């Protein structure tokens, strides 16, 4: 377990990095200090060639309650804070860093995921949630628009009708409902959340990492491409991946009827 952090925990073992938001007394809500530590941790993970999967979770009974509003409090007579600057400086880089990591990113939602915390989970590639967990687009309750990618993720995942219902009504969506709607990948019993996520992370860490990275890149890019453009991108990625050591190993293992030994190369 990495030391030197005050608001997060970082563990790297067997090809899997586990980043735990660690302000349980505040439901792991974000402060400037947490943003800076998460940014540093993601930079370390990105630079570490041994890491082939990232797990993001929260300590205690919550995943992340979004922004810690105590940092946003304005005394009477003070000018209102520029919330757009906070988005530009902290939340936008965080969401893009998670989405652009060249390896699979798993969110293990262990409790409430509210506001930016909900959308932080949706920025991950696979979302597993404990049965007791929930998702809340809480922005309407304080007069704001869903941020951290909320207006972009929601309609693509659940369609406009459900996206608008979640955003305008700010109703709590259970993990089971989130799975049924396609908002997340899977809802599991509370006791099975971390064992399930660890097993999946181990599977992904032993997989051909470069191929997985290009797969997620192609799927995310397809939302803004024509069919012809997606076919071209698939062609280019297959040309690149067909020259990798992992592809050669995958074919050899298939022909020899043995388990492949991918190195992420």
Q: What digits encode the pLDDT tens for the residues 178-213? A: 999 999 999 999 999 999 999 999 999 999 999 999
pLDDT given for residue 2 in this prediction: 60
pLDDT given for residue 3 in this prediction: 61
Which of 190, 205, 220 is the last residue before a domain boundary? Answer: 205
Q: What digits encode the pLDDT tens for the residues 205-225? A: 999 999 999 999 999 999 999
Other CB atoms within a 10 A radius of the CB of residue 10 amount to 21
Domain-located, residue 112: yes
- Residue 231 pLDDT exceeds 90: yes
Q: What digits encode the pLDDT tens for the residues 10-27? A: 999 999 999 999 999 999
Other CB atoms within a 10 A radius of the CB of residue 158 amount to 18
Return the CATH number at 76: 3.90.226.10
Asked if residue 159 and residue 238 are part of one domain, the reply reads no
Q: Which two tokens stand for residue 32?
A: 């400037």
Domain-located, residue 102: yes
For residues 196-208, b (16+ Cβ closer than 10 Å) or e, as one string?
Answer: bbbebbeebbbbb
DSSP per position, 94-149: HHHHHHH-SS-EEEEE-SEEETHHHHHHHTSSEEEEETT-EEE-GGGGGT---TTT
- Residue 77 pLDDT exceeds 90: no
Q: What digits encode the pLDDT tens for the residues 102-147? A: 999 999 999 999 999 999 999 999 999 999 999 999 999 999 999 9
pLDDT given for residue 81 in this prediction: 74
Asked if residue 166 and residue 239 are part of one domain, the reply reads no
How many helices, marked H, and strands, marked E, lie in the chain? Answer: 10, 10
Asked if residue 145 and residue 121 are part of one domain, the reply reads yes
Asked if residue 232 and residue 190 are part of one domain, the reply reads no
The rounded mean pLDDT for the chain is: 95
Domain-located, residue 262: no
Asked if residue 223 and residue 170 are part of one domain, the reply reads no
- Which residues are CB-neighbours of 132 under 8 A, at least 6 positions away? 111, 175, 190
Report how far residue 130's alpha carbon sits from residue 133's, in angstroms, rounded to the nearest whole number. Answer: 5
For residues 62-97, b (16+ Cβ closer than 10 Å) or e, as one string?
Answer: bbbbbbbeeeeeeeeeeeeeeeeebeeebbeebbeb
Domain-located, residue 191: yes
Answer whether 53's CB lies under 8 Å from 104's CB: yes
Answer whether 7's CB lies under 8 Å from 22's CB: yes
Kindly indicate the confidence band of residue 82, based on its pLDDT and cuts at 50, 70 and 90: confident
pTM for the full predicted model: 0.94
pLDDT given for residue 62 in this prediction: 97
Asked if residue 91 and residue 32 are part of one domain, the reply reads yes
Asked if residue 228 and residue 242 are part of one domain, the reply reads yes
* Domain total of the chain: 2
Asked if residue 151 and residue 61 are part of one domain, the reply reads yes
- Host domain of residue 117: 8-205
Asked if residue 222 and residue 198 are part of one domain, the reply reads no
Domain-located, residue 60: yes
Which of 183, 205, 227 is the last residue before a domain boundary? Answer: 205
Q: Which two tokens stand for residue 21?
A: 């938001």
Domain-located, residue 261: no
Q: What digits encode the pLDDT tens for the residues 21-73? A: 999 999 999 999 999 999 999 999 999 999 999 999 999 999 999 999 988 76
Domain-located, residue 3: no
- Residue 246 pLDDT exceeds 80: yes
In Å, how far are 8, 12, 28, 37 from 69, measured between CA atoms?
Answer: 19, 31, 12, 19
pLDDT given for residue 79 in this prediction: 64
């Amino acid at each position: 377990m990495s030391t030197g952090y005050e608001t997060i925990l970082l563990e790297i073992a067997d090809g899997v990095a586990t980043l735990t938001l660690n302000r349980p007394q505040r439901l792991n809500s974000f402060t400037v200090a947490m943003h800076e530590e998460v940014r540093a941790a993601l930079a370390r993970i990105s630079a570490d060639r041994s890491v082939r999967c990232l797990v993001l979770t929260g300590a205690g009974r919550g995943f992340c309650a979004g922004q810690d509003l105590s940092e946003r409090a304005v005394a009477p007579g003070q000018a209102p804070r520029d919330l757009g600057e906070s988005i530009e400086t902290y939340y936008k880089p965080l969401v893009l860093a998670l989405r652009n990591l060249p390896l699979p990113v798993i969110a293990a939602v262990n409790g409430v995921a509210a506001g930016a915390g909900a959308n932080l989970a949706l920025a991950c590639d696979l979302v597993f949630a404990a049965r007791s967990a929930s998702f809340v687009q809480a922005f309407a309750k304080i007069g704001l628009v869903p941020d951290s990618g909320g207006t972009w993720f929601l309609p693509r995942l659940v369609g406009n009708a459900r996206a608008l219902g979640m955003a305008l009504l700010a109703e709590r969506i259970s993990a089971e409902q989130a799975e049924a709607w396609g908002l997340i990948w899977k809802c599991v019993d509370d006791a099975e959340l971390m064992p399930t996520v660890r097993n999946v992370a181990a599977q992904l860490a032993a997989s051909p990492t470069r191929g997985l990275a290009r797969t997620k890149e192609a799927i995310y890019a397809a939302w803004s491409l024509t069919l012809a453009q997606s076919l071209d991108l698939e062609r280019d990625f297959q040309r690149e991946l067909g020259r990798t050591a992992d592809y050669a190993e995958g074919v050899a293992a298939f022909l020899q009827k043995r388990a492949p030994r991918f190195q992420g190369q």
